[in-house]
Amino acid sequence: MKKLIVFLLLLAVLQFPLTLLNPFGPTIFPVAPILNKNVTGNVDLTVEFWKNLDDVIAKVATKYAKFVVLPITTAANLYTKGIDIKLVGVHEWKVFYLVSNTDFKGLKSLKGKTVYSAHGRGQTVDVLLRYLLTKEGLIPDKDVKFAYAPPQEIVALFNSGKISFAALPEPFVTMCLSKGKIVLDFQEEWNKISNSKLGIPIAGLFVIGDISKYKNTILEVEKIFKESVSYANTHVDESLEITSKYLPIPKPILKKSLERTQFKYVSDCKDEVSKFLETMHNLYKEGIPKIPDEGFYLK
């Protein structure tokens, strides 16, 4: 009887509405086709936005939803702290750059300077920049200072000339380019370190709690999510129009930023993600204190 129940669970597709928690920001673009019902499937999938990590971490911990889009590093840390969360696939691979409005002659020229980052200490760009500085013989926090702030605030400070270096994701990079230029592509630097051709596994789709037992439901949600990413990439103007209904950033800036952004759904990404997390752990243990075991990966 137990085997029969498990078998039926595997075959079942849940018929009640399912919620996908998605970051509020430029990552609305790849789910815009779901929001606009351009892409649908055999499950009733509703998208809700999360605006900060504290908000989404609380919702994941209380199993508020069954599916969530999260930064890989954040999800890995939640998993190693005992939260029941599993990676389904990665869809964001390229978005981070260092911009400058003054002379930049390589990373050594950052000595004595402050780099502003929109991501907190221990997150992807922070760890990568600290590693790259160390390779150049500089000591992070001593030779180069770090400051953290919301991206909109960093853009305002940069464009007013009050700061000279900012590590930002798109489209905030594009918003700085009238007053400065890109001096470092973090994806290119990661590819040199890892020999990856995909870029940085930045964010992806995760399942929360016992929904992982419902294989067919997960496959259906994954199919919708993958088709949404593909639809957005092939119907850019239409998807930007939808995105702009939620995000108060001008469409021309969003469109320009897509030239330096890559959304591409990859389900077979365990090797890429595990190598990324192991490298982040080795580079900066404060950011990734533990490496997730096999249970972190749904596939």
Query: Can you give the pLDDT at residue 288?
Result: 87
Query: Can you give the pLDDT at residue 245?
Result: 94
Query: Can you give the pLDDT at residue 121?
Result: 75
What is the tens place of the pLDDT at every residue in 22-44?
999 889 999 999 999 999 999 99
Q: Which is nearest to 90 in space by CA: 70, 110, 105, 115?
A: 70
Of the pLDDT bands very low, low, confident and very high (cuts 50, 70, 90), residue 10 is very low
| 51 vs 283 pLDDT, higher one | 51
Of the pLDDT bands very low, low, confident and very high (cuts 50, 70, 90), residue 14 is low
Of the pLDDT bands very low, low, confident and very high (cuts 50, 70, 90), residue 1 is low
161: left (phi over 0), alpha (psi -120 to 50) or beta: left
CA distance 101 to 158: 8
What is the tens place of the pLDDT at every residue in 58-106?
999 999 999 999 999 999 999 999 999 999 999 999 999 999 999 899 9
Of the pLDDT bands very low, low, confident and very high (cuts 50, 70, 90), residue 193 is confident
- Please determine, for residue 198, whether its predicted confidence score (pLDDT) is greater than 60: yes
What is the tens place of the pLDDT at every residue in 208-255?
998 878 889 999 999 999 999 999 999 999 999 999 999 989 999 999
| 59 vs 9 pLDDT, higher one | 59
CA distance 144 to 136: 12
Query: Can you give the pLDDT at residue 133?
Result: 92
| 236 vs 286 pLDDT, higher one | 236
What is the tens place of the pLDDT at every residue in 98-149?
999 998 999 999 999 999 998 777 778 888 898 889 889 999 999 999 999 9
CA distance 131 to 139: 10
